[in-house]
Amino acid sequence: MDHAIFASPDLTVFCRLDGLGLQAVGQLLEPDRAVIECRVADPDPWCRGCGCRARSRGTDTRLLAHEPFGHRPTILLIRVRRYKCGECGRSWREDLTSAAPERAKLSRRGMRWALEALVIDHLTVARVAAGLGVSWHTANNAVLAEGHRLLIDDPTRFDRVGVIGVDEHVVRHEALLFRMEVRDLHGLAVVAAGRSWRQSGLGER
């Protein structure tokens, strides 16, 4: 640490919002949660219809559970600008797909944290939900969606796997009583998982 180069404190970077296309503009620290006020980092006021520059017509808010920092949930309060083109009358809101899937209740970093907490840290879904400040079903759905995106939807997940092992076993973990795992025996990593052979993704190969 003697020769470390320190940068100025940056809440956006610390909360890893830059990778979501967001910029932190405020914070509210409460005993049971931390709320980070955000805006889209790169506004895009140009009309897709006629190409004219539109003016902001106010903002809407969207709340997203984010990866926690410390022992209290972190919530993103995003101010989403609304635009209306003065030339063609087209209206739209800022695109937040870099921050979260449409209609999702968790940010993309929150979804990744939930999956890693369950798979790597072996937390229960209930503890994951408590860490995020969301319901059990919201946390469970986020884990399933992120796991599906990283494993099942990845066509290259078996490209570097030389030897696999398939194990079926009963798991008394929350509501999931049966689980099939496919492991890369060289890399010691789970490359597919599900409640059946087909859900593991191998049934399609």
Both 101 and 178 in one domain: the answer is no
Both 108 and 31 in one domain: the answer is yes
According to the model, what pLDDT value does residue 165 have? 63
According to the model, what pLDDT value does residue 183 have? 52
Is residue 18 one of the residues assigned to a domain? yes
Both 169 and 76 in one domain: the answer is no
Is residue 100 one of the residues assigned to a domain? yes
Is residue 4 one of the residues assigned to a domain? no
Is residue 1 one of the residues assigned to a domain? no
Both 113 and 203 in one domain: the answer is no
**Structural domain of 70:** 11-153
Both 148 and 195 in one domain: the answer is no
Residues 6+ apart with CB under 8 A from 37: 24, 25, 26, 27, 28, 77, 79
Both 47 and 134 in one domain: the answer is yes
Both 40 and 80 in one domain: the answer is yes
Output phi, psi for 6, to 5 deg. Answer: -95, 140
According to the model, what pLDDT value does residue 2 have? 74
Q: Which of 153, 172, 196 delimits the end of a domain? A: 153
120-to-113, 115, 123, 134 alpha-carbon distances in Å: 10, 8, 8, 20
Q: Which of 153, 168, 196 delimits the end of a domain? A: 153
Both 97 and 169 in one domain: the answer is no
8-25 confidence digits (pLDDT tens): 999 999 999 999 999 999
User: What is the tally of structural domains in the chain?
Assistant: 2
According to the model, what pLDDT value does residue 100 have? 96
Ranges of beta strands (E only) in the chain are 22-30, 33-40, 55-66, 74-84, 91-93, 164-173, 176-184, 189-194
Residue 12 has which token pair? 């956006």
Burial class (CB in 10 A: 0-12, 13-18, 19+), 102: exposed
Residue 66 has which token pair? 């984010």
Both 25 and 90 in one domain: the answer is yes
Residue 14's Cα: distance from chain center in Å?
Answer: 16
Q: Which residues of the chain have pLDDT under 50?
A: 170-172, 174-180, 185, 188, 195-205
Rounded to an integer, what distance in angstroms lies between the CA atom of residue 117 and that of residue 119?
Answer: 6
Is residue 3 one of the residues assigned to a domain? no
Both 92 and 189 in one domain: the answer is no
Is residue 34 one of the residues assigned to a domain? yes
Q: Which of 129, 153, 177 delimits the end of a domain? A: 153
According to the model, what pLDDT value does residue 87 have? 87
Both 205 and 116 in one domain: the answer is no
Both 98 and 111 in one domain: the answer is yes
Is residue 6 one of the residues assigned to a domain? no
Is residue 2 one of the residues assigned to a domain? no
Residue 90 has which token pair? 């087209």
Asked if 40 contacts 22 with a C-beta cutoff of 8 angstroms, the reply is yes
